[in-house]
Amino acid sequence: MSCFVEIDGSYLEGGGQALRNALTLSVILNRPVRVVKIRANRPKPGLSHQHLHGVNLLRDISNAEVNGNTLHSTELTFTPRTIAGTMYKVDTRTAASITLIYQMVMPVLLFSGTSSRIDVTGGTNVSFAPQVEYMQQVLQPNLKRFGVSFDLKVLHHGFYPRGNGRCMLDLEPLRSLNAVQLNDFGQFRSVKGAAYYAGRLPKCIAFDMQHSAEREIHRLWPDHECNIQVFKHPPDRARDNGAGIILTALTSTGCVVGAATVGEKNIDGHLIGSNASCELAGYIKNEICVDTHMQDQLIIYMALASGCSRIRAGALTKHTRTAIYVAEQMAGVKFIIEYGNFGQTLISCEGIGQRNAYM
């Protein structure tokens, strides 16, 4: 087992983050990995349906040899071979997060030799995962700075507990990732967003979300534009009940930070709108360039990029610290953390300049 890099899945966040990042980097770097204590800090440790689908998808993409890819397994070994970009289809048959599956495979397919399409059925808007709109409106412009090009289409929205959502992700490969400088907030320009509802839920829920969010932003910045649209997903695009809000703030330097909240049981539109707008307002007031939910998602790209990347975030999350731990173990990079005023944190990393062997 000495040829395997061993990753402790119970480190800090202790959920799926360590597993996802370890396998992603394993494929890109062609380094066999052994993940132990998988999701040890969760009520039901080991591989869930969602994680198992991600593992098996990466297995297929990289023609890997895998041991331990069974439901509830707490240990897994993964030996990748080649990366094959093509058409892949996954049906989770649950409300498992589509965006977390994409988060796992996107960096890998950037280093394939051809365009890829990943068709996934599951949950588009579920708790404890990025909403699909966040991926489109916040992740996409941030990854564009690294040189990443992708197109995400939502064919059907899916909510907890049934899922039934379906998305299509088209991704172009690249030769290498650019280093990025996301440390100059500039001047706050505007807020835009959308409050949505679906199924049998009344439209007043979405209007409550809209009014609460706009009221908070206008209270703090009465002279700035705040445009939040209300809409219902039609029955042919969303069969079940669901509601939520996505807000983004834009700055003069091109920073895009976001806040998204999805409704659960006993949906309170005013509370959902207030929570999302208060979160976003915190980023604006403290001039945060990378929001709380984006921090950990950029760590892999920083580690692989050509040159030194710097991002200005808020307090580091456990997800981010876990992503840093895995990247340092797998890629041999070093992340530098500097603490500033108003809870700001500057995260820096000299990337390894990973090249696409298939281009």
Residues belonging to the binding site for ATP are 103, 293-297
**CA 34, CA 26: separation in Å to the nearest integer?**
10
Task: Give the pair of three-digit tokens for residue 52.
Answer: 């198992």
**CA 295, CA 319: separation in Å to the nearest integer?**
8
Closest to 259 measured CA to CA, from 226, 300, 224, 232:
226
**CA 150, CA 135: separation in Å to the nearest integer?**
11
Indicate the SS3 state at residue 175: coil
**CA 7, CA 13: separation in Å to the nearest integer?**
13
First to last CA, the chain: 32
Point out the catalytic residue in the list 53, 157, 233, 319. Answer: 319
Binding positions are 103, 293-297
DSSP string, 42-95: SSS-S--HHHHHHHHHHHHHHT-EEE--STT-S-EEEE------SEEEEE-SS-
**CA 116, CA 106: separation in Å to the nearest integer?**
9
Closest to 294 measured CA to CA, from 268, 278, 281, 313:
313
Element (H, E) at 14: none
**Is 319 assigned a catalytic role?**
yes
The residues facing 190 across adjacent strands are 225, 250
> What amino acid positions are annotated as catalytic residues?
319
